[in-house]
Amino acid sequence: MSGKLEGRVAFVTGAGSGMGQAISYRFADEGAKVVAVDVNPETAAATAATIVERGGEAVSAGADVRDKEQVAAAVKVGLDAFGGYSTLILNAGIFDNQTPLLECDDDLWERVIGINLLSAYIVTKAVLPHIIEGGGGTVVTTASVASFLAGSGGAAYTTSKHGILGFTKQLALDYASKNVRANAICPGAVDTGLTRPFWEADPSSLELFSAVPARRVGDADDIARLAVFLASDDSSFIYGHGVVIDGGFMLT
């Protein structure tokens, strides 16, 4: 690896599975120290342990991104281990199984909006001051093609993903003067713990993807490589964009 993230310290949410796990591995391979955070402390710990086994540096914390105190405790774990932060990956998220509004109950609405969108306020307010204190850095959020389109998600998911893209743009505008760059990754369908149960329940829904230009769904590592680019100086002139990575899905 080329050490594109040498010296960086990254707080990664949803690090126990899928894209967050792949991002954590890639970041460590590129020289970053990783603070792997997940609501499931065991999967977060497993991600960190794998990084350490591979010769990298990582610690982990269990935290629900909707909970201010748990997030503050997780931030402290990284500060105690590595002394500061330069990178925030806001990635934890859940799906709504494309539930239309009138079938979406209060619990589903609150969970999806809470985890996918409202948590950005909590986590960013906990980590960004440390990034600024350290001289600046990068924030990468995981948005979606559902940040642009209806239909990939349902009412709650589409709302949350439109919202997180707006959040990212405003962050980029407001904190550029503090040497902070923020961008969003907007994936199409990617094979992870989030999508697999959906496809297993309805295998015919996968047929759609044989018609997209790439003729496949994405792999978590496709997303991790884009995250490295957006977190590194290779993307130093990109501010506040939603970068679509979808195998051409949005063309169809």
Ligand X SMILES: NC(=O)c1ccc[n+]([C@@H]2O[C@H](COP(=O)([O-])OP(=O)(O)OC[C@H]3O[C@@H](n4cnc5c(N)ncnc54)[C@H](O)[C@@H]3O)[C@@H](O)[C@H]2O)c1
Count residues binding ligand X (CB under 6 A): 29
Residue 238 DSSP class: -
What CA–CA distance (Å, rounded) separates 144 from 250? 11
Q: Which of 153, 171, 175 is nearest to 162 (CA)?
A: 153
Least Å distance, CB 147 to ligand X, is: 9
Site string for ligand X, 31-50 (x = CB under 6 A): -------xxx--x-------
Question: Which one among 9, 12, 20, 242 touches ligand X, defined by CB under 6 A?
Answer: 20
Which region among 25-33, 129-137, 190-198, 204-212 touches ligand X (by CB under 6 A)? 190-198
Pick the closer one to ligand X by CB: 5 or 226. Answer: 226
Are 33 and 9 in contact by the 8 Å Cβ rule? The answer is yes
Least Å distance, CB 239 to ligand X, is: 21
Q: Which residues contact 128 (CB under 8 A, 6 or more apart)?
A: 88, 139, 171, 175, 180
Site string for ligand X, 154-183 (x = CB under 6 A): ------------------------------
222 lies in the site for ligand X, by CB under 6 A: no
- Ramachandran area for residue 135 (φ above 0: left; ψ -120 to 50: alpha; else beta): left
Are 29 and 3 in contact by the 8 Å Cβ rule? The answer is no
What CA–CA distance (Å, rounded) separates 90 from 164? 10
Active-site hit among 25, 85, 157, 175: 157
Question: Which one among 89, 122, 189, 224 touches ligand X, defined by CB under 6 A?
Answer: 189
> How far lies 228's CA from each of 22, 113, 163, in Å?
11, 26, 23
Least Å distance, CB 181 to ligand X, is: 20
Interface positions with ligand X (CB under 6 A): 13-14, 16-20, 38-40, 43, 64-66, 91-94, 115-116, 142, 144, 187, 189-190, 192-195
